Structure 1
Amino acid sequence: MENHSFNTDILILEGLKVSPESSIPAFVLLLLIYIFIMVSNIGLVVLITMERSLHQPMYLLFCNMSVNDVFGATTVIPQLLRNVFTPISERYIHYIDCVIQAFCGHFSASASHTVLMIMAFDRYVAICSPLRYTAIMTSRMVVALSVSAWTVALLMVAILVGLSVRLSRCRRTVLHPFCDNASLFKLSCESILINNIYGLGYTVVLLGSSLGSVTLTYLKIAVVCLSSRNKSLNGKALQTCATHLTVYIIMFLSGSIIIILHRFPYLSDYRKLAFILFHVVPPAMNAVIYGLQIKAVRQKIVIMFTRNTGGEMTQ
């Protein structure tokens, strides 16, 4: 019994499946993407924090997304990098570490939806009730929205992963690039009916509320823009909303592809690749989309580079 317990506490992680000749290019590509995610997102948070003119609800709420992107990428990519040059038979991970990684991965994915929901609410108030915007989107409201977005995701994922941790284990191989909730309950030989029921409810509630709230919000924004004759207002609304919608669509499609591929077991390799892309593509795109599309942020970046370039030339 002791040996069995020990063996199931040390798991074998499938990791990233690459051929020996592709290992170096895969490592370099993942490393460059990870560095880009860290630099772009952290840089954007620092810029928004230091520039008082950007201390507005829209930008402060976006800091939640950048922090979440850094957190999500750090949960997955370093583990993939460590395993690139390690044979599959030697890719060991402790069960506790696997649980932590699964929790952090799902927490980051869930927070992506909840954060984008509160950002949609901010755009709705700004465009549909511009005269009441400052009264509604106070500092206290920004903090309350941010805390609620993280708390809801935390509670939902804690239950999701907790239901898997309660199960006994009879297997020790994780057939996935990294640990997730499905990897955890597949280690058990017990009934996982409750896990499947809650997992389905979790997915429906999260994606349904996310898609429903964002769709309803932008339909109301569209009605306001169509009924308004203020071209300047409409142009500004379309710019900020298009940026937010682009980020949302990229994130939603990435997650939806994974859910669809779950229905086709013979496409497991494509599903594993989709999981990796979900934790790589949106974090790499979000900061770029916001940094380049939002005029105020773009202007600050140009000013900073111009100032630095001018300082170097005078020295």
Structure 2
Amino acid sequence: MDTSSLNTSSFLSLQGLGLPPQGMYAAFLFATLSYLVILFCNLFLMATIIMNKSLHQPMYFLLFNLPINDLIGSSALFLQLIKEILLDSRYIEASSCIAQAFFIHVYGVGSVLILSAMAYDRYIAICNPLKYSTIMTNSHIAKIITLVWLVDLLLIGVLFFLLLRLPRCRSLISQTYCDNPSLVALVCADTTINNIYGLFITASIQVFAVGMILYTYLQILLACFKSKRSDTKSKALQTCATHLTVFLILECLGLFTIISYRIKQLSPHLRRMIGVSTLIFPPTLNPIIYGLKTKDIRQRINMAIRKTVNP
């Protein structure tokens, strides 16, 4: 594409992968296979929950939202990345860039909120088992899921409303994909409000999520130690270990990504790798971890595989 024909108000330039021409084939293969694996694993987990009535429980209704959210984030990244590699172009329409950034941030906030809601569900199930069925009714679960998505969309909607009101005078995105910090860097006006609101979202979501996890898991551990039934204790700890593993993977990658933006001396290539990893590893690992570690889901998957192999 002729750069002289670009209108900076309509097109933006992504930093690109920085690969030699012969490396683009490997990049295309890796991106395509990664996206297909993410699609297969998450859709398979969703289909398993939908098709098995024994999994139509509050825990799995909440879990069902996790692969939906993972597909939003991975699709926002990979569809644009694969298009960029195929067309050998680093240019993207401003509207497409903003849409990609919006859905990537919806994915980030949504992951934390969904995992927090799942921690609350496990807390009720283990610490108040006799009241679980009366508390976690279908209507209550529907309210929790609706609240999670509404809060997610509202927080990110305001973030991008604050961004879109500002004029843009630069066009080079410092990442291989679009996100809010990279778009704010293109603005030629005072971004103090944007920076404060961005930090507010990050801090409040982290305080809420980490506080929820610490409180619920402390109560769960205390309940497990008090319990005299070894089978109940083992099942509770296994379920919580699965949830905690997924949460820690997301938190570590998210923290590294946030810190990478604050360290100016960090290599741009390393910063881009950290950012992309947050959108690749959780969507890939989450359905695998839940499929292997959650007994009910593992049994249903094994039954589906046996029926396929020996119809």
Category of TM-score, reference length = shorter chain: over 0.9
How far apart are residue 170 of structure 1 and its match? 0.8
Structure 1 residue aligned with 2:253: 254
- 1:67-216 to 2 correspondences below 5 Å: 67-87=68-88, 90-216=89-215
What residue number does 2:45 align with? 44
Give the counterpart letter for 2:108 in structure 1. Answer: A
**Alpha-carbon deviation of 1:59?**
1.1
Question: Shift of residue 85 of structure 1?
Answer: 5.0
In structure 2, distance between residues paired with 1:25 and 1:7? 31
Change over 3 Å in CA distance of 1:132–1:243 after alignment to 2: same
Q: Deviations over 1:187-226 (max 9, x none)?
A: 1111111111111111100111111111111011111111
Alpha-carbon distance between aligned partners in 2 of 1:18 and 1:7, rounded to the nearest angstrom: 25
Q: Which residue of 2 aligns with 1:287?
A: 287
1:144 CA displacement: 0.8
Q: Give 1:7's aligned amino acid.
A: T
Residue deviations 1:239-283, cap 9 Å, x none? Answer: 110010010000010100011212211213212111100000000
Q: CA deviation at 1:8?
A: 2.1
Q: 1:5 & 1:305 partners in 2: Cα distance?
A: 52
User: Aligned AA for 1:292?
Assistant: L
| Distance (whole Å) between structure 1 residues aligned to residue 202 and residue 43 of structure 2 | 29
Instruction: Give 3-state SS (helix, strand or coil) of 2:13's partner.
Output: strand
Q: What are the ranges of 5 or more consecutive residues in structure 1 without an aligned counterpart?
A: none
State the partner residue of 1:24. Answer: 25
Q: Counterparts of 1:126 and 1:241 in 2: how far apart (Å)?
A: 11
The answer (yes or no) to whether the contact 1:15–1:80 under 8 Å persists in 2 is no
Q: Matches of 2:106 and 2:119 in 1, distance apart?
A: 20
* CA distance in 2 between partners of 1:7 and 1:151 (Å): 33
Aligned residues of 2:169 and 2:186 also touching (Cα < 8 A) = yes
RMSD (Å) for aligned C-alpha atoms = 1.6
Deviation sequence 1:51-110 (CA, Å, 0-9, x none): 1011011111101001111111000012112223555xx422111111111111101110
- Helix, strand or coil for the counterpart of 2:9? helix
TM-score, normalised to structure 2's length? 0.95
2:239 pairs with 1:240:
yes
Q: Percent identity?
A: 37
Partner of 1:305: 305
- Which residue does 1:217 correspond to in 2? 216
Q: CA deviation at 1:140?
A: 0.6
Aligned 8 A contact 2:123 2:216 in 1: yes
Normalising by structure 1, we get a TM-score of 0.94
SS in 2 for 1:20: coil
